[in-house]
Amino acid sequence: MSDRKLIAGSFIFLLLVILIGSIIIVREKGYLSREEEPTFISYVGLWDPEIINPLKIEYQKQNPDITIEYEQKKPELYFETLKNLLATENPPDIFWWHSGWGPMLNNDLSAIPESVISIQDYEKTYFPVTKADAKIGGTYRGVPLEIDGLALIYNKGLLSSKGFKNPPKTWADLQRTYIPALNKFDKKKGILQSTIALGTENNISNFSEILGLLFLQNGVTFIENGEMKIHDSVALNNDNLGQKTLDFYTSFTKKTKDWDSTLPNSIRAFAQGKVAMIILPSHKIPSLQSQIKATGSKVKFGVSSVPQPPNVEPVTWGSYWLSGVSVKSSKQGEAWKFIKFLSEPESLKKIFEKESKIRKIGRVYPRKDMSKELRKNALLAPYQSQAQFAKSWYLHSDTFDGALNDEMIEKLRELVSRMAQGKGSAKSNLNSFAPEAKEVLSKYGVFSPEIIER
């Protein structure tokens, strides 16, 4: 081998050594760009996976570095399951929470970053009831997935048979005009036909929310300056508003003899044509439809706004689910961006379409700018139109929390039961209820300075 070839070979070998060495050093120092690992976001809720999966896939295509893992939980065990998950070191990044759970989840919920949704934009987008439920310690902690409430369900045939083209708009009209025309009472046989299911606690679906609505419509303040006021809310004319409300609710079993505890559950009674009107949230409509079909009855029903007191600003009920992010999540920013994507009008329309196929009815849109979307939907339009007037308190049925709401409902159940049995006056029963309610509310953080008084 010539000296020239030897030198050339040595030079090439030296270059290879330098190149390989440089690569090793650069890799060790991290100077070479590495392919980014995907960000995994865990999400638990109550949606059927068929509803969330198409949107999840769409978002992942737009954000290839994001992978979302969604898991559906059982409603009856959801709160207990969620609390256990949130107590672990690695809780789900995103989770559903109910609007009545804010005080209990105060320390688990992260605030929505201003860069994702500002407070100003949030309040422009969502209904005022969220300010009482989702704003904790001055920051919003969840984005609504829906807005539900209470509406009046009425039997078209029974009303038209007495010449009524529409259901009552006010409680005064109901008492003065509709009950005398529709109620059928026999001294021996009892109630043969009821006008509306009101007055008891054992056989009225969502009785606690109905009574909660009446308290709110009458201007009752539940808590003021850290003290219970439900028993001591007084109007300018010195009327005790709580007592007045309780007497009104239980009057349907006493004065008008329009409803009592011997009748079937309100939904079943309506399906059988035994009651002309009931009050229900929208998510109970499929159950009503199923029971009507099961009974073989020909009941045709309409949906209308709940009656109001005369000559005052309307007040309706609000109950809804939100998406929130765990304070322990290391991916809070990415999680909130996905929630924002789900909350956009186009996403909500896709969710509505999917849910309508699976559940036979979709969720009412939670955004103000979508209020007209359901105006032609005979079943849901009243719920949508009422959302702007919604208020709430910790008397939400069907959350299965086994805690704040369920315990408050149990206390209210005892109160209404005593009234229905004629044990004590509205005054004495409310005076007994107030300290018992305060004990429950205190246990679950409702008196925390971060929770808005109502």
The tokens describing 116, both together, are 């994702």
Q: What is the pLDDT of residue 16?
A: 53
Which residue(s) pair with 278 in the sheet?
A: 153
Tell me how far apart the 2 most distant CA atoms of the chain are, in Å.
Answer: 128
At 38, the pLDDT band (50, 70, 90 cuts) reads confident
Cα distance between residue 91 and residue 87, in whole Å: 7
Read off the pLDDT of residues 175-216 as tens digits, 9 standing for 90 and up: 999 999 999 999 999 999 999 999 999 999 999 999 999 999
Average predicted confidence (pLDDT) for the chain: 93
pTM greater than 0.75:
yes
CA-nearest of 100, 101, 102, 81 to 92 is 81
Q: What is the pLDDT of residue 33?
A: 44
Q: What is the pLDDT of residue 184?
A: 97
CA-nearest of 213, 94, 56, 78 to 150 is 213
- pLDDT tops 70 at residue 398: yes
What lies within 8 Å, CB to CB, of 242 at 6+ separation is: 215, 220, 230, 231, 232, 233, 426, 430
- pLDDT tops 60 at residue 22: no
Please give the domain boundaries of the chain with CATH numbers for all domains.
39-148+319-384 (3.40.190.10), 151-317+390-443 (3.40.190.10)
Question: Residue 214 in contact with residue 395, Cβ under 8 Å?
Answer: no
Question: Residue 421 in contact with residue 199, Cβ under 8 Å?
Answer: no
Burial class of residue 12 (count of CB atoms within 10 Å of its CB; 0-12, 13-18, 19+): exposed
The tokens describing 351, both together, are 């969710």
Percentage of the chain with pLDDT > 90? 91
The tokens describing 247, both together, are 């007497």
Question: Residue 324 in contact with residue 405, Cβ under 8 Å?
Answer: no
